[in-house]
Structure 1
Amino acid sequence: MATKTILIPTDFCVASLNTLKLALASHIDQPTRVVLIYAEYPDNSITELLFYSAENRIKALVTNEFKEALEIIKNRFEGKLLDISIELLTMNTNGYLNNYLDANKINEIYLPKTYQLKPAKNGFNPLPILKKAKVPVTEIDWGTDYKQSEQEQLIALFI
């Protein structure tokens, strides 16, 4: 069976992982690689750009609760989930996105239907551009109360 690669936006809140959980649980029936993206404009200061590292930026944004939630999902979908990577999307143009999708061999994008991403400083909401992508887009309505605490969201991932 062929491997599928999907893209899911995140804001590093545990709640944003509900889209991944439901995509794996009910929409995907083959071995899957997941690319979680966070959308952020790089700082335009020369000093900041000289020392900019996407890897360090991601490490700064990932919380312990988010790490725990990823581990729960990895364990729950062990046979179906091959890999999860987290990457930064740094521009919001169609050309950039389509090149990114090609380079990463993305087959499909899964988006939250009602959850609103909460980007940090310099972050932007990638949903409008992702909805226009050249690959299939599936919106998932998870119907969960995403106003719960991070701890309550962690518990919900077990259900």
Structure 2
Amino acid sequence: MRKTILIPTDFTVKSLNVLKTILVNSQNTDTFNILLVHGISLNDSIRDLLFYSKSEQIESLTNPEFQEACEVIKNKFGQQIASLRIDLFSGYNLAAFENYLEGNKVDAIFTCERKSLLINKNSFDLSQFIDKCSVKVTRINSGLNTSIPEKGKIAEVFINQVSMG
């Protein structure tokens, strides 16, 4: 069965542990359209809006370790991943978030217990909308609170301490 899932991201390798947990704990017959979403406020300057490029914004927010970790996950769990997309949400209220979920046909939201890092001055935490939305939300404990020498690095994707919470 194919499901579309939304996972909030702050473009850190640690935020991908939620995705890894889902893939490890799901049945091999499940396939997922994965939507990694970051909340960002748009500047209201007309000049900035005219020349705004979502792909350039995403490229400026991501880092090589995050992109490499995404590729590792796609290669390791290829048969379970129908698509993996990185997107930005820039709405200001719950109604806009509900429309975003409906437009992307999101079946479920998976998030971790920790707050997302605000990596940009315009970033905002999506939990204010996730907590109130109509889509099923599952909170995941990544189990990575122990001391890991590779913490924050690509090697963190290979650690198997995960659990559904």
Give the AA of the match of 2:12. Answer: C
Q: Deviations over 1:55-108 (max 9, x none)?
A: 110011111001110011111111111110011100141111111111111000
Alignment partners' CA distance in 2, 1:71 and 1:19: 15
Q: Is the 8 A contact 1:41 1:124 kept in 2?
A: yes
Question: In structure 2, what is the equivalent of residue 136 of structure 1?
Answer: 136
2:37 maps to: 37
* TM-score normalized by the length of structure 1: 0.90
TM-align CA RMSD: 1.9
5 Å matches for 1:62-77?
62-77=62-77
C-alpha distance in 1 between matches for 2:97 and 2:121:
21
- Structure 1 runs (4+) deviating above 3 angstroms are 145-153
The alpha-carbon deviation at position 148 of structure 1 amounts to: 6.2
Q: Is 1:127 aligned with 2:127?
A: yes
Q: 1:146 to 1:124 in 2, by over 3 A?
A: farther
Asked whether the 8 Å contact 1:39–1:124 carries over to 2, the reply is: yes
Instruction: Measure, in 2, the Cα distance between the counterparts of 1:98 and 1:63.
Output: 29
2:46 matched residue in structure 1: 46
SS of residue matched to 2:111: strand
Q: Does structure 2 conserve the Cα–Cα contact (< 8 Å) formed by 1:14 and 1:153?
A: yes
Gapped regions of structure 1 (runs ≥ 5): none
When residues 45 and 23 of structure 1 are mapped into structure 2, their CA distance, relative to the original with a 3 A threshold, is same
CA drift of 1:121 comes to 1.3
The CA distance in 1 between the partners of 2:146 and 2:115, in whole Å, is: 9
* Equivalent in the alignment of 2:6: 7
Q: Percent identity?
A: 35
**CA positional deviation for 1:28:** 5.8
Gaps of 5+ in 2: 160-165
Distance in 2, Cα, partners of 1:11 & 1:152: 12
- Specify the SS of the correspondent of 1:34: strand
